[in-house]
Amino acid sequence: MNKQIHFIGGGQMVEAIIRALLNNKLYSSDAISVTDINQERVRYLNETYQIHASQDLQNSLEKAELIIIGVRPQDDLVGVCQSIKAIAPTTVPILSIVAGVTIEQFEAWLNEAYPIIRVIPNTLTDTGFGFSGVALNAKAEIADVESFLTGFGKVKYIEERLIDVFTGYGVAGPNYIYYFIESLADAGVLAGLPRSLAWELALENMVGAVEMLKRTDKHPRQLLDINNSPAGVGINALHELNRSDFAAGLQRSVLKAVQRTTELANE
Ligand SMILES: NC(=O)c1ccc[n+]([C@@H]2O[C@H](COP(=O)([O-])OP(=O)(O)OC[C@H]3O[C@@H](n4cnc5c(N)ncnc54)[C@H](OP(=O)(O)O)[C@@H]3O)[C@@H](O)[C@H]2O)c1
C-alpha cells in the first residue's frame, strides 16, 4: 500500500510526475492530492486525473505521508514551508523538486528534524527512461522515497554538491540527443534522402548503436575501429567530424549548461 502523497504546486513538472505514477499503476488517484493557488489549474487536474486537487492546503497536509514541494524557486517558498511546519509532524518526509534551492535552505525554513529530500526530476517521465538525481539530508532514508521516485523513472542517489552537474549533463541530456538526431537527419536530407527516410534511419541507428554498446560492453572506439576500414567511408567521415571541433563543442555545451544551472540557483 503506497503512501498518501501531497504535492504543493500543480504545474507542468508535477503533472508529468502524476501522469507517470498513474500510468505505471504505482499509485491510485485517491492516494494523490495537490494544492495549487491557481483555480483553473485545480479544475484541470481534477478533471484530467480524478485526483484530490484543491486550494485547501491545511486539509490535505493533515493526511499526507509524503509532501512534495513543486512550486517555482521564485514562489513563496518560505510561506509554503511555514504551512508545512504548522501542520505536518517532523516524521513526514518533505521532498523538493525546486531547482537551485538547497537542503540547507529547506532545513532553515522548515526544521532540520524533517527528512528532507532534494530531487532534480528527469524529464523523460512518460517513457520509464531517465535518471532523477536525488540528495538526502541526515534524517532522510532511501526507503522513505524509493517507491515514489521509481514511479516516474530511474534514480541516482548523489551528493548534493553534484546536483548542478547532474542537471546540466544528465537531466538536460535528452536535449543534446534531440539536437544530434535533428542534425543527423538534416545531413541525410542534405545528401539527398527524403526527410522521412533520413529521420527513420537516424532513430534506428541511435537506438541500435546504444544497444550495441550495451550488448558488447565495448568502448565506442573499439566499435569505430571495427567499422573504419583503411581509407574507407567511416574514417573519412570521422576525420571531417574531428575537424569540426564536434567533441569539444559538445563538451563546452555541457559545461555551459552546468554553469547556467549554478547561475540560476544564485539569482
Ligand atoms: N518543468 C521542468 O521540466 C522542471 C524540471 C526540473 C525541475 N523543475 C522544478 O519544478 C518546479 C515547478 O516547475 P514547473 O515548470 O512545473 O512550474 P509551473 O508549471 O509554473 O508550476 C508551478 C505551479 O505552482 C503554482 N504555485 C505558485 N505558488 C504556489 C503556492 N504558494 N502554493 C501552491 N501553488 C503555487 C503556480 O500557480 P501560478 O502559475 O498561478 O503562480 C503553478 O501552477 C520548479 O521549482 C522547477 O525548478 C521543473
The pLDDT tens digits for 179-229 are 999 999 999 999 999 999 999 999 999 999 999 999 999 999 999 999 999
Give the chain's domain count. 2
Whole-number Cα distances in Å, 46 to 15, 60, 71, 133, 185: 11, 14, 18, 29, 40
DSSP state of 96: E
Q: Are 145 and 93 in contact (CB under 8 A)?
A: yes
> In which residue ranges of the chain is pLDDT below 70?
1
Q: Which residues line ligand 1 (CB under 6 A)?
A: 8-14, 35-38, 41, 70-73, 75-76, 80, 97-99, 120-121, 123
Same domain, yes or no: 53 and 122: yes
Q: Residue 212 has what pLDDT?
A: 97
Measuring from atom 9 of ligand 1, which residue has the nearest CA? 98
Residue 195 lies inside a defined structural domain of this protein: yes
Q: Residue 146 has what pLDDT?
A: 95
CA distance 46 to 12: 15
Same domain, yes or no: 28 and 155: yes
Domain boundary among 163, 184, 205: 163
Q: Quick one: which H or E segment has residue 263?
A: helix 246-266
Pocket test for ligand 1, best of 7, 71, 82, 175 (most atoms within 8 A of CB): 71
Q: Quick one: which H or E segment has residue 63?
A: helix 57-63
Helix or strand or coil: residue 136?
Answer: strand
Same domain, yes or no: 144 and 65: yes
Q: Is 134 exposed, middle or buried (0-12, 13-18, 19+ CB in 10 A)?
A: buried
Query: Which residues are CB-neighbours of 195 under 8 A, at least 6 positions away?
Result: 185, 188, 189
Q: Residue 1 has what pLDDT?
A: 58
CA distance 182 to 42: 37
CATH number at residue 185: 1.10.3730.10
Residue 168 lies inside a defined structural domain of this protein: no
CA distance 160 to 81: 20
Same domain, yes or no: 245 and 152: no
State in Å: Cα 73 to ligand 1 middle. 8
Tell me the three cell numbers of residue 60: 490535505
- Which ligand 1 atom lies nearest to the CA of residue 76? 31
Helix or strand or coil: residue 5?
Answer: strand
Phi, psi of 228 (to 5 degrees): -95, 95
Interval 4-28: pLDDT, tens:
999 999 999 999 999 999 999 989 9
Give the torsion through C-alpha atoms of 219, 220, 222, 224, to 10 deg. Answer: 180
Pocket test for ligand 1, best of 41, 57, 72 (most atoms within 8 A of CB): 72
Same domain, yes or no: 144 and 182: no
Domain boundary among 163, 187, 214: 163
CATH number at residue 104: 3.40.50.720
Domain boundary among 163, 183, 212: 163
CA distance 155 to 172: 15
State in Å: Cα 138 to ligand 1 middle. 26
- Which ligand 1 atom lies nearest to the CA of residue 98? 45
- Which is it for strands 131-136 and 116-120: parallel, antiparallel or unpaired? antiparallel
Mean pLDDT, the chain, whole residue set: 95
Numbers of helices and strands, H then E, in the chain: 12, 8
Measuring from atom 42 of ligand 1, which residue has the nearest CA? 11
Q: Which range of residues forms the domain containing residue 66?
A: 5-163
